[in-house]
Structure 1
Amino acid sequence: MPSLSLSTGVQFFYTDSGAVDGGEYTTVVIIHGYSFHSGTTFLCSNPSLTVTLVSIGTFQRLNPLAQPNSLRIISVNRRCYPGSSALSADELSTIAEGTDDARAGLLEQQGCDLALFVDGLIDELSIPKNGGIALVGWSLGTIFLLSLIASVETLPTATQERLSGYVRTVVLLQPPSLSLGLPMPPGHLTSHTDPDIAEARGPAFAKWVSSYFVHGNLSLHKTEELTNNKTDPLKLSTVERLKPEELFALADFTAAEKYDKVIGGAPFAPLVAAQTHKVLFDPTVRRAWRGATFWNLYGSAEPWTIIYAGWFLEDQSRAANSLALAFQTKIIPGGNHFLAWDEPETTIMALKACFSV
């Protein structure tokens, strides 16, 4: 499967739906979230004893729909995930116990590396400029998407110019509140913070985050309308419907524990909050991306933390009251956190609607 190496030696594995035959198309680059990654490959045998190379990833169900919808979908594995470079011992030490300045530098570097990855794709895959690029960060991947956007002023001038000329749309796809550095509201828990959950955190998180929740009146933007654990009894979570081999291929809980759990937790929260403010509400950064449109897209049956983040973004955009800082929102009725797996057609149509504005 394809990978791209930076001049520093950092390597990123990615999956690619392929160039679209004839006509203009948009290239979509997706950054995955916590545990559930963009793909891995493995050898699979069948009853006829033939062995084939199989690729499976969180966004794989979007790929067959890409070409008919004039899209090319490229999903990258972040560092520490299958096929991409591991973090060094020094980097892991910084994550675990570094100073705020050291951690801020590491977060910035992750964004720079991803920006250079996208720039490398433009050259290596001869990505056409006319259809442009849409950058999408799913779930916890929002932290790294925002790091990429924030890095624009630190990139080489040629890279800045190229990316700002190609990138037309930025989509925060189902971001949780922790990916924006928001404090947790009173009375609300996640599978990571609930003291009643004593079993393995990984499986508990996977079931919780992929359930279909039944919230109250979401139009009120009141936290008491959000539920921690009331789920639709008629719908199994996405994870409960996966085959064991699918779950094994889609998720890497080890990488999440040593990397994402800390970056998405309290030690990094002030840094992530500052990054969110810089990217979304600093006109200097937004101007550097030459008027790219910014979107938040989420489902109404998500875990409460995703909806809470959506409210924050809507409210902040409204308060800014600035065309230069505009932030648009699209809500998928009944959608859970695994839209790309459970409802690929709906996901494609929702993304296309963002790209066409």
Structure 2
Amino acid sequence: MSTSTQLESLTIDDDVSYYYFDSGAVPGNTYTTFVFIHGMGFNGGVFKKLFPLAAAHRLHIVSLYRRDYDPTTNFRDADLAGLISGTVEGQEGFLRSQAIEIATFLVTFARQQSIPPAQGTTGGIALIGWSLGALLTHAVVAYLDALPSNILSDLGKYLHTMVSHDFEPDVKYRFNLFYEWATAYFAHKSVTSGNIDDLEFNKFSEKTHAMHELSSEELAEFTSVKTFGSSDTLILYTQQDVCKTVTRRAIFNTALAQRFLPNLRVRYMSGGASPGVLVWALYELGKCLADPKPNYGPDAETARDVKFKFQTEGNHFVFWDEPEAALGQYIATINL
């Protein structure tokens, strides 16, 4: 699928540049910027069907290419050392460094584009992490205390909401199997009941998979098997203790939340035909809001404005098959 939209670039330090697709500026000061962080194996191009719809909704949509997804700067050996070490300290250090880079991108972009500051959920930035990308958006919130003061102060002016879309960091498939699984539709009895027996984890519905219309050459524009099998696999195997630490720091640490961006809103959403494991992950996290201590430690408390939206329609790639519906879902989730 070719498009006239061009990749733009933004350098965040002397040797790291991030590339991104941009739907284009919106006239005036009453628009909101959505910044998407893509998942595993699929690059930022997967969100481009949302771009033609942005202006009508007073939105400025940006789709970031993560590190190791060309042409964004690839990871160097030193960048991956913490992940490769397999230690809690090393893996947490990697996520902290990525959080700093993404936050720096957001602030630098906001300054260069002169986007309007946040006023509630209008203006500013909503940061949306899809699939594995949600681990990195969580990290941004978790490690606000690691940001340089000049980045933190401006981030507070712009970032009003962090959204996680279909997040579960435990998918252990090779790419072809993963692609089939992730693009499928799952016929659940109910995604709102909170009952695991109402979810389908393995059997696909007969509905045609997302992206089925693309040739292998066209699909290659949106994917990277190389990164799927290298740095993303390292990220995927981040220890559960590290993932818990990131979540605890992001939404269950009162001291951090009160000191750093106390008005930041955190939202979770899943598709009505997404894989059951992704819906169930949100069920389980939702239960922790009432009492996070058993899972996140004796000092854990729900420290931020956290809400969940279980969509009744759309699969894991709703933004590709049903972009208008997807944009409505994102808007509704952010405005909860």
TM-score (norm. length: structure 2): 0.88
- Answer whether contact 1:165 1:290 (CA < 8 A) is retained: no
Pick aligned residue for 2:161 from 161, 169, 182: 169
- Answer whether contact 1:177 1:309 (CA < 8 A) is retained: no
Pick aligned residue for 1:353 from 327, 332, 335: 332
Is 1:330 aligned to residue 309 of structure 2? yes
With 311-320 and 337-346 compared, the bigger mean Cα shift is at 311-320
Pick aligned residue for 1:104 from 80, 89, 92: 92
Is 1:249 aligned to residue 258 of structure 2? no
1:278: which partner in 2?
249
Task: After superposition, give the CA deviation of every residue in 1:315-340 in whole Å (9 maximum; x if it has no partner).
Answer: 12233697843321112213100011
Question: SS of 1:113's equivalent?
Answer: helix
Q: In structure 2, what is the Cα distance between the partners aligned to 1:151 and 1:293?
A: 15
Percent of aligned pairs with the same residue? 29
Question: SS of 2:25's equivalent?
Answer: coil
Pick aligned residue for 1:291 from 257, 263, 274: 263
1:88: which partner in 2?
76
Task: After superposition, give the CA deviation of every residue in 1:287-333 in whole Å (9 maximum; x if it has no partner).
Answer: 31231221111112111221012102321223369784332111221
2:126: which partner in 1?
134
1:344: which partner in 2?
323
With 304-313 and 64-73 compared, the bigger mean Cα shift is at 304-313
The structure with more radius of gyration: 1
Q: In structure 2, what is the Cα distance between the partners aligned to 1:68 and 1:167?
A: 22
Question: Deviation of residue 241 (structure 1)?
Answer: 3.2
Q: In structure 1, what is the Cα distance between the partners aligned to 2:87 and 2:264?
A: 33
1:26: which partner in 2?
32
- Answer whether contact 2:254 2:301 (CA < 8 A) is retained: no
Question: SS of 1:2's equivalent?
Answer: strand
Question: Deviation of residue 210 (structure 1)?
Answer: 0.9
In the alignment, structure 2 segments of 5+ residues that lack a partner are 1-6, 293-299
Task: From the superposition, tell whether residues 83 and 69 of structure 1 become closer, same or farther in structure 2 (CA, over 3 Å).
Answer: same
Question: SS of 2:268's equivalent?
Answer: strand
In the alignment, structure 1 segments of 5+ residues that lack a partner are 39-56, 179-189, 193-200
Q: In structure 1, what is the Cα distance between the partners aligned to 2:138 and 2:208?
A: 32
Q: In structure 2, what is the Cα distance between the partners aligned to 1:205 and 1:135?
A: 25
2:212: which partner in 1?
240
Pick aligned residue for 2:62 from 48, 51, 74: 74
Task: After superposition, give the CA deviation of every residue in 1:146-197 in whole Å (9 maximum; x if it has no partner).
Answer: 111122111111211111121111111121253xxxxxxxxxxx562xxxxx
Q: In structure 2, what is the Cα distance between the partners aligned to 1:286 and 1:295?
A: 15
- Answer whether contact 2:184 2:204 (CA < 8 A) is retained: yes
Is 1:35 aligned to residue 27 of structure 2? no
TM-score (norm. length: structure 1): 0.83
